[in-house]
């Protein structure tokens, strides 16, 4: 765990990069004194409600369809504990550690607004999970947008279930004990605070934003290599032409492509060899740029949700003058739509990449040896790598179907419209992984195509990218086990710092 970076929740909004720094980079998370004041004010309102006996949903009533059942005394603490235990019923393979950490970070940020009413010790317990490296094992399936994932996190605070700790899966009770921590004793509303809201989809989406941002930069680099290998007509990327359709993302992709291909003798020697290129070659600014614009929109939606209040009920005012308001802020429609939109956009990035790489191996259109191998026939070359990319594109088409449109009824008609935002975010993670592999295959094939053109100088950026791959993958002179080559290319794409180190001017 990194001890060098610190993220402090105070009075300014956090960005997705902050969540990623905690979840993926191991940055320590802290709350400013002003934040603790907000949290404790809301908890004081809860205590006032408990003492007065005034009915307030989730504070002294049952949950969901049981909202009219009044509770009191020891029942309130028992309700919170029972809420976590009964809601921790997810199924399937566990989330990764970084996914669970992102969710915890988003949950703490939600409580920091001071509208939840959660006890201080609950927030302190969640901070301890993050900062001590105790990560609950959270089944990935079972959320309609909220509830199950956070419940599995919550039970770890009670010493229930298993956690990832120091590289091993151990009982939560053991990890807490080794860190000198005691199980949290829950009070009124704590259970409901821990399971409702949108931190699950928001946290997961922050990780997706990081990966999508990185992949869109790599997509420009790799597509420039494919463009060059197929001797594309550079007029399609002319700055004056691109400016006539002023989508912001399209302008940036045009800038990137021109910079990457600058100084290319291959492109200069290819001027006029055809009237125009196939659309997958000449429409890179339009397609990649559109994905960048959707990313910008999704970022705004996800960061707004991340910094908003997603509790029900909300506690407003002070203990002496308060309101308890039941509403629907745990409904995550904005994030669900944003994640679905990004899944479509990134599936399209994979789709156009597959079309480009297919042209690289096809001698009828590439002008290169069949399947990019010197002796086709006895060698199959890169033939089947394109099959893999096609398969991944087909799967992405399935994953890009909107989750938000899948609506079901839960809790005895009480919760009869659901966002399915967590499913949307998890689907997006799947699309991004597939897109990474597709781009890795295109990278491998474009670099192999360069082997047949290296008597001429490549673009300043594409040459760097080619040499970077060659540090890890040798040219493909004859058939060999190809899967490790794809894996090596994918590892380059997954390195968060490598791209900026070799091409620092790329955006």
Retrieve residue 103's tokens: 């969710």
Q: Cα separation of 100 and 26, whole Å?
A: 13
User: Would you state the pLDDT for residue 58?
Assistant: 76
Answer yes or no: are the C-beta atoms of 329 and 314 closer than 8 Å: yes
User: Would you state the pLDDT for residue 466?
Assistant: 98
User: Would you state the pLDDT for residue 505?
Assistant: 83
Q: Known catalytic residue: 57?
A: yes
Q: Quick check: helix, strand or coil at residue 196?
A: coil
DSSP string, 125-168: HHHHHHHTTEEE--EEE--SSSSHHHHHHHHHHTT-SEEEETTE
User: Would you state the pLDDT for residue 1?
Assistant: 44
Residue 225 neighbours by CB under 8 Å, 6+ apart = 443, 446, 447, 449, 450, 462, 465, 466
Q: Cα separation of 388 and 397, whole Å?
A: 14
Q: Cα separation of 193 and 87, whole Å?
A: 12
Q: Quick check: helix, strand or coil at residue 63?
A: coil
Residues of the chain with CATH 1.10.275.10: 6-196
Q: Which residue has the tokens 């990327």?
A: 237
Q: Cα separation of 253 and 284, whole Å?
A: 8
User: Would you state the pLDDT for residue 438?
Assistant: 98
The highest-level CATH class for domain 205-502 is mainly alpha
For the chain, 507 residues long, the average pLDDT of each consecutive 10-residue run is 79 97 97 98 94 83 73 85 94 98 98 97 98 98 90 98 98 98 95 94 98 98 98 98 98 98 97 95 98 98 97 94 92 96 98 97 91 84 94 98 84 75 96 98 98 96 97 93 97 93 85
User: Of 18, 153, 96, nearest to 433 (Cα)?
Assistant: 96
Answer yes or no: are the C-beta atoms of 151 and 132 closer than 8 Å: no
Element spanning 46, H or E: helix 33-52
Retrieve residue 506's tokens: 């790329």
Q: What is the dihedral of CA 403, 407, 408, 412, to 10 degrees?
A: 130
Retrieve residue 416's tokens: 């009869």
Residues of the chain with CATH 1.20.200.10: 205-502
Classify burial at 456, counting beta carbons within 10 Å of its beta carbon; exposed 0-12, middle 13-18, buried 19 or more. middle
57, 111, 165, 476: the active-site residue: 57
Calculate ∠ Cα 124-128-132, nearest 5°: 165
Classify burial at 483, counting beta carbons within 10 Å of its beta carbon; exposed 0-12, middle 13-18, buried 19 or more. exposed
Q: Quick check: helix, strand or coil at residue 77?
A: helix
DSSP string, 203-261: HHHHHHHHHHHHHHHHHHHHHHHHHHHTT--GGGG-HHHHHTS--HHHHHHHHHHHHHT
Answer yes or no: are the C-beta atoms of 298 and 342 closer than 8 Å: yes
Q: Cα separation of 106 and 197, whole Å?
A: 10
Residue 463 neighbours by CB under 8 Å, 6+ apart = 457
User: Would you state the pLDDT for residue 481?
Assistant: 92
The highest-level CATH class for domain 6-196 is mainly alpha
Q: Cα separation of 242 and 250, whole Å?
A: 7
Q: Quick check: helix, strand or coil at residue 60?
A: coil
User: Of 236, 259, 227, nearest to 445 (Cα)?
Assistant: 227
């Amino acid at each position: 765990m990194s001890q060098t970076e610190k993220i402090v929740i105070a009075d300014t909004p956090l960005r997705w990069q902050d969540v990623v720094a905690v979840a993926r980079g191991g940055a320590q998370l802290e709350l400013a004194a002003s934040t603790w004041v907000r949290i404790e004010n809301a908890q004081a309102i809860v205590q006032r409600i408990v003492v007065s006996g005034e009915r307030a949903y989730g504070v002294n009533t049952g949950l969901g369809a049981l909202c009219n059942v009044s509770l009191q005394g020891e029942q309130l603490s028992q309700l919170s504990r029972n809420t976590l235990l009964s809601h921790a019923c997810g199924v399937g393979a566990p989330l990764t550690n970084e996914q669970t950490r992102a969710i915890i970070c988003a949950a703490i940020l939600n409580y920091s607004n001071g509208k939840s009413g959660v006890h201080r010790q609950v927030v302190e317990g969640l901070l301890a999970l993050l900062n001590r490296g105790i990560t609950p094992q959270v089944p990935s399936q079972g959320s309609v947008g909220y509830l199950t994932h956070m419940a599995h996190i919550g039970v770890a605070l009670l010493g229930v279930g298993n956690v990832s700790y120091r590289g091993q899966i151990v009982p939560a009770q053991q990890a807490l004990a080794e860190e000198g921590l005691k199980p949290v004793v829950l009070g009124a509303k704590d259970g409901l605070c821990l399971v409702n809201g949108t931190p699950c989809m928001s946290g997961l989406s922050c990780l997706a934003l990081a990966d999508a941002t990185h992949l869109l930069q790599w997509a420009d680099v790799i597509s420039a290599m494919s463009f060059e290998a197929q001797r594309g007509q550079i007029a399609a990327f002319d700055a004056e032409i691109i400016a006539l359709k002023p989508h912001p993302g399209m302008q940036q992709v045009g800038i990137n492509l021109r910079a990457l291909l600058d100084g290319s003798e291959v492109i200069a020697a290819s001027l006029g060899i055809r009237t125009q290129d196939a659309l997958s070659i000449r429409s890179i600014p339009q397609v990649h740029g559109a994905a960048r614009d959707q990313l910008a929109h999704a970022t705004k939606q996800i960061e707004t949700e991340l910094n908003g209040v997603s509790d029900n009920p909300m506690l407003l005012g002070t203990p002496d003058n308060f309101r308890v308001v039941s509403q629907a802020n745990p409904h995550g429609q904005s994030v669900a739509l944003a994640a679905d939109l990004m899944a479509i956009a990134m599936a399209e990035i994979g789709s156009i990449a597959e079309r480009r790489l297919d042209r690289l191996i096809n001698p009828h259109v590439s002008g290169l040896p069949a399947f990019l191998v010197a002796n086709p026939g006895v060698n199959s070359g890169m033939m089947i790598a394109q099959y893999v990319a096609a398969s991944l594109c087909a799967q992405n088409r399935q994953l890009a179907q909107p989750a938000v449109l899948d609506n079901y009824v839960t809790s005895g008609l009480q919760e009869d419209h659901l966002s399915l935002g967590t499913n949307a975010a998890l689907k997006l993670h799947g699309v991004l992984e597939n897109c990474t592999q597709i781009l890795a295959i295109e990278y491998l094939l474009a670099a192999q195509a360069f082997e047949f053109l290296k008597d001429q100088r490549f673009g300043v950026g594409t040459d760097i990218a080619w040499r970077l791959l060659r540090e890890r993958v040798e040219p493909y002179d004859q058939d060999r086990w190809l899967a490790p080559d794809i894996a090596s290319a994918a590892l380059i794409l997954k390195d968060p710092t490598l791209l900026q180190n070799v091409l620092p001017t790329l955006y």
